């Protein structure tokens, strides 16, 4: 199964092979500084996410290298330093394709989150953090 996504201007096309490893919403200060809000993330093996057309730029604001379209600036995906995965910008997916399981880095959230998903203070234990949740 290949999912095709494009930047807003259509110059860049990306193919994603297979399904997401996990999907979540990241509230870290890095994501918020770049996006102006939390980042909806669809995490895939790095080898499954390929740029098949168009020119891209990679920049790092704080710690996370992020790839965007050179022409329109659409954010395409972010790397996770030290891990062979790419976090695709789920705004580029259809709503049916983005089913986040939890929120991470809620310690930086701009306001309390009120949905029914788990609200991890930092990163869940299954990704090397702790399962501490926010007490809003
Ligand atoms: Zn573009
Ligand atoms: Zn983040």
Q: What is the mean pLDDT of residues 78-101?
A: 95
Between CA 121 and CA 136 the distance in angstroms is 10
Q: What is the mean pLDDT of residues 41-66?
A: 97
| φ/ψ of residue 30, rounded to 5 | -65, -50
- Per-residue pLDDT tens digits for 37-51: 999 999 999 999 999
Q: What is the mean pLDDT of residues 80-88?
A: 93
Residues with CB under 5 A from ligand 1 (ion): 7, 9, 11, 69, 71-72, 74
Distance 58 CA to ligand 1 centre (A): 14
Contact between 122 and 136 under an 8 Å Cβ cutoff? The reply is no
Tell me how far apart the 2 most distant CA atoms of the chain are, in Å: 45
Q: Is the pLDDT of residue 117 over 90?
A: yes
Between CA 134 and CA 136 the distance in angstroms is 6
Position 81 confidence tier, pLDDT thresholds 50, 70, 90? confident
Q: Which ligand is closest to the CA of 92, given by its number?
A: 1
Distance 4 CA to ligand 2 centre (A): 23
Distance 110 CA to ligand 1 centre (A): 28
Q: What's residue 70's pLDDT?
A: 98
pTM for the structure as a whole: 0.95
Location of structure tokens 């297979």: 18
Between CA 43 and CA 78 the distance in angstroms is 9
Task: Check residue 110 and report its DSSP letter.
Answer: S
């Amino acid at each position: 199964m290949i999912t095709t996504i494009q930047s807003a201007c259509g110059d860049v096309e990306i193919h994603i092979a297979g399904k997401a490893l996990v999907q979540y919403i990241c509230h870290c200060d890095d994501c918020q500084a770049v996006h102006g809000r939390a980042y909806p993330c669809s995490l895939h093996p790095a080898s499954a996410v390929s740029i098949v057309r168009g020119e891209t730029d990679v920049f790092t604001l704080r710690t996370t290298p992020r790839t965007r379209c050179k022409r329109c600036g659409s954010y395409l995906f972010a790397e996770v330093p030290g891990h062979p995965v790419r976090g695709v910008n789920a705004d580029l997916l259809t709503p049916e394709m983005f089913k986040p399981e939890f929120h991470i880095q809620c310690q930086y959230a701009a306001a309390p989150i009120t949905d029914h998903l788990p609200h991890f203070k930092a990163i869940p234990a299954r990704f090397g953090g702790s399962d501490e949740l926010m007490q809003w």
